[in-house]
Structures are given as C-alpha cells and as structure tokens.
A and B are shown apart, each in its own frame.
Chain A
Amino acid sequence: MAKHDHDHSGGSNLSDVELRVRALETILVEKGYVETAALDRIVELYETKIGPHIGAQVVAKAWSDSGFRQALLEDASKAVATLAHQVGNVGEHLIAVENTPQLHNMVVCTLCSCYPTDVLGLPPAWYKSFAYRSRAVKEPRAVLADFGVALPVETEIRVWDSTAETRYLVVPMRPAGTEDWSETQLAKLVTRDSMIGAGLAKKPSEVA
C-alpha cells in the first residue's frame, strides 16, 4: 500500500480518478455546498498545521512535567486542552497510554483507519495498510520487526484496537541521557511512529 502512487496493477486509472474528483468538486461548488477556498484551507491545515509535531509536544511535556503526565494519563483530552495556546484545539475522547520497560503499547484500527488525527495529523499509508490492520492484533512483534524494532521477550505487548470513537496516543519511553533537555529539545526525539507504538523515541545520538 505504501507505493500506490504508481499503480500499474490495472486496478485503477489515476488520471481518470483525478478527473472525477475534480468534477465532483465542481458540482459541489456550483450547487453552493462548498467554497473552493475552504477546501484549500483544509488541505493546507493537514499539510502544514495538524501533524505529529502536536503529539510530540504533548509527549515532551509529559516527560518533563510529572503533574502534566499524571493529568494526561487520567484524561488526555482535558490535559491537552490546557496546552491549546501551544498546540491548538483537540477534540474529545483522547486517551494516552504510557510505555514502560515492562509494557509496550501499540495502536491499530483493524476495521478501518481510526487514528488520533487531532494530535498526529492524517495517518500514514502503512497504518491504513491491510498488512498492518490484519497483523497488529495477532503478531505485533513481527510487525515491530518490520519497523526494525526488537523488544525484549519479557516485555508485555498491549495492542489497542480502536473500534469506537476513543483515540489512543502512546507516550513512548523517554530516552536515557536526556535528563537536562528542554521540552523543545525532547520533542525532536518523539517520532510519529513512537506515538502509535510502531517505533521507539529517537536516541539523543540520532538528533545530534
């Protein structure tokens, strides 16, 4: 699914889809349902404003501020709302789950593509792929291996299947050697994949 930009499988003709999408937009605009500028703005927001940098700031704050960490784990929507000046507004039903040396959390939507968009932006293609959706609940260690991640065998893995409107954000483990780092510095270590549970936070040496 990751390489669907060059579809030679015969399944679809992308230029045809593009024309049909354009036609539908024309109809919606001409009938007075939508304004083109508003659609442009939505695309722009997801391309530039609503992305994993939001979640990264939330995680960095949780790593630095134990009171915020506690509040985040108790009610993530409420806790993140207190950062609205910094990360913008987020919606309801956000839940944060924390990784520890004993427990690794991982999030999937086996039925469609439910994802904590308010804090991570739109999901990557792999999250929506049939391979991830089918395998994450059954063989997550093998899925993690596809991401180059190997956890100790004694680490418990907990997979959260997002089958309702609750949305899960993983708080990855804070890397060693970052004790005196600022939130801004810490946020650079927090990858999108680590907040889904498909990866780990970067080590200090990876951002130096």
Chain B
Amino acid sequence: MDGVHDMGGMDGFGKVEPEPNEPVFHHPWEGRVLAMSRAIGVFRAWTIDTSRYAIELMAPSFYLTRSYYEKWFLRNQNLLIERGLIDADEVAAGRALRPAKNLTRGPFTLADVEKVTKRGSYSRPAPAPAQFKVGDRVRTKNIHPRTHTRLPRYARGRVGVVERLHGSHIFPDSVASGKGEDPQWLYTVRFDAQELWGADTDPKLKVSIEAFEPYLEHV
C-alpha cells in the first residue's frame, strides 16, 4: 500500500538526533511490549509480514504521532483480538474473563526464550529457476498494490543491476494477504542515485533494495 510508512526520500522530518548513552528501553513498559511481541510468536497466530502490514494500516496521523512501542502495543492487542486469542471485553476489563480458546500449546515459558531471540529462516524451496542472474540489468515494476508490499515507492519503475541472489524466500506480499508463503527468488538490486533522485544528486551514491522476483522485469 502507498502508506506513510514508506518513507524513503521524503523531506521535512528534520535532523537525525542520536541520543548519547541511550537505554535499551526508555520505559519499562516498552520492554514488556517487546517481550510480549516475541513471546506470542510461538503461537504462530500471525507472521512478521502480517504484523508489519497491521502497523501500515494505522491512520497516517496516528502513525506519525505515536511512539514506536505504542504502535507495537496496539498492533499486538488488535491482532490478538482479531485472531481470537483474547476478546475485546477482556481488554476493557483488564483481565481474562474466560479460558483461552483453541490453545495449541502450553504457555510460553523460560524454555522457549531462545526460540524467539534467534532469527529463524525465511528460505523456502524455489518453485522455479531464477529468472535473473547477477549482473543483469532489470527494471522494477511500477506497481501500487493496495495491500502489503516490500517494494518501496522511490524504487518503482527504475532500472538497476542485480548484484546478489539470496535464494528463494517467503514472499511478504502474498503471506500478508493470506495467500500463503508463495516463495520467490530474492535479489539485491543496486541503483545509481541519479536513476532514483535525478541528475543533480550525489554522483558517488548508490542505493540497493532487496527485491523479490515478482517486482522485477527484464530491461
């Protein structure tokens, strides 16, 4: 979707302000939100792409004014309700009102922690041979799906070069739309900055994206 989350190249957000000696969490509740996000993953009620899409679907004014972990919190709560793990009246009451439905496994315990603090694999067997090879010139498609995509706006309809091939991965656009993992080849595609930002940009700048094969066409 062409949402406000797709920020590459936008102006007006000001300086980048590093915070000296920044704590890992600015408030204890942020740590609880992060921990709940990780823990609930073991129930496989949704995927990482679903969770990104849920944040993208928040109203732009909300997205731009709420803190990072506040958005995460709301996303978790909404998805938990939507997937039937908890109910809205329980949120209103601030406590459980009935036993969990369809509990597929026991609670997330200390023994499960390592599973969620180490990244899993997103590789999947390829359904077909790769259409592009390293060194190929490719054009990104000019697509504007209303649903989740990982092709940023600034890199649509641009000509670049395939620099790396990463194998076949879960395709976010499909999985976030409930169409299954639909594995696709994943490439690093490199662009000259002038292709992205015009002739008067930094001539010594190159930018790459990680592009799934359905985003690309032969030049």
Contact = CB atoms under 8 A, between A and B. Distances in A.
Interface in B74-88: 76-77, 80, 85-86
B42 to A, nearest CB: 9
Nearest to A167: B119
B186 to A, nearest CB: 5
Nearest to B33: A21
Contacts of A9: 65
Contact of A91 (B17, B28, B32, B120): B120
Interface in A130-169: 130-141, 143, 146-147, 153-167
A5 B27 contact: yes
B85 A33 contact: yes
A70 B11 CA distance: 39
A98 interface: no
A20 B154 CA distance: 37
B199 interface: no
Contacts of B196: 137-138
Contacts of A157: 202, 204-206
B100 interface: yes
A154 B203 CA distance: 9
Interface residues of A, number: 90
Given A91-B119, A128-B68, A42 B35 contact: yes
B113 A92 contact: no
B16 A131 contact: yes
Interface stretch (A57-65, A112-120, A180-188): A112-120
B64 interface: yes
Contacts of B100: 31-33
A24 B65 CA distance: 22
Given A33-B100, A43-B34, A131 B14 contact: yes
A81 to B, nearest CB: 11
A85 interface: no
B170 to A, nearest CB: 8
B95 A4 contact: no
Interface string A18-60: 1011111111101111110111111101110011000000000
14 contacts: A4-B26, A28-B80, A31-B96, A34-B39, A34-B108, A89-B114, A90-B118, A91-B118, A92-B123, A126-B17, A137-B207, A138-B154, A138-B201, A165-B48
Interface of B: 5-19, 22, 24-29, 31-36, 38-40, 43, 48, 52, 55, 64-68, 70, 73, 76-77, 80, 85-86, 90-91, 94-96, 99-100, 103, 106-110, 112-114, 116-123, 150-152, 154-155, 166, 169-170, 172, 186, 188, 190, 193, 196-197, 201-202, 204-212
Given A30-B96, A91-B120, A110-B6, 13 more contacts: A1-B68, A11-B65, A21-B32, A27-B86, A27-B91, A35-B109, A38-B113, A42-B34, A46-B34, A91-B118, A111-B5, A138-B9, A163-B210
